[in-house]
Amino acid sequence: MTRREKQALIDQGHLLPLMEEFYTIQGEGYHKGTAAYFVRIGGCDVGCHWCDVKESWLPELHPATETTKIVDNAVKYSDIIVVTGGEPLTWDMGPLTEQLKAKGVQTHIETSGAYKLTGEWDWICLSPKKIKLPTEEIYDKANELKCIIYNKDDFKFAEEQAAKVNDDCILYLQPEWSKRDKMMPQIVDYVMANPKWKVSLQTHKYLNIP
């Protein structure tokens, strides 16, 4: 396969830069505590300074993998497949989710929403970032909004994002892990004063699992 042919397959979503895949417990948001199979796709130019998977940023570091192989392996483990990154919407998610749905499994995505929404999703976790805002289309389709609280200014950003999502979207505030001791008391007070919000924790880190 030539480099051009390979790139065409990547552009079409038939090959994806696969960073890692693993069966674990969902640690965050609405589905926390639920067993799920995670597929982490490489590639992200959003560039959050506190990102805990910076090794996912460069797609060329991760093997371009056939979506059929990703699907065949994932469905062996769970009927809930969570696609995360990196930023998975960097790539066309259509072929991956079409094949997953054909296998009868649920498709979840964790995304900043910075790129066009592709793919067929049963659950969309939107986690917007200030430095590269979501596309307008994803606000109407998000099932949950997860805003990361790194400092006090992030509460204002969270409210701005909450004003854009649909009425059924569940709202979460989650402390950035390295700032959790400082920010958690502020989050607790904020949620108690603004009960439309819920607290999300990275429970998988407390459980010491992936």
Binding residues for S-adenosyl-L-methionine: 50-52, 86, 127-129
Residues flagged as binding site for [4Fe-4S] cluster: 44, 48, 51
Q: What is the 3-state secondary structure (H, E, C) of the chain?
A: CCHHHHHHHHHCCCEEEEEEEEEEECCCCCCCCCEEEEEEECCCCCCCCCCCCHHHCCHHHCCEEEHHHHHHHHCCCCCEEEEECCCHHHCCCHHHHHHHHHCCCEEEEEECCCCCCCCCCCEEEECCECCECCCHHHHHHCCEEEEEECCCHHHHHHHHHHCCCCCCCEEEEEECHHHHHHHHHHHHHHHHHCCCEEECCCHHHHHCCC
| Annotated binding residues for substrate | 25-27, 40, 84, 210
Reading the block at residue 165, the tokens are 């999502």
The long-range contacts involving 20-25, CB below 8 angstroms and separated by at least 24 positions, are: 21/70, 21/73, 21/74, 22/210, 23/77, 23/78, 24/204, 24/209, 24/210, 25/203, 25/204, 25/207, 25/209
Q: Name the binding residues.
A: 25-27, 40, 44, 48, 50-52, 84, 86, 127-129, 210
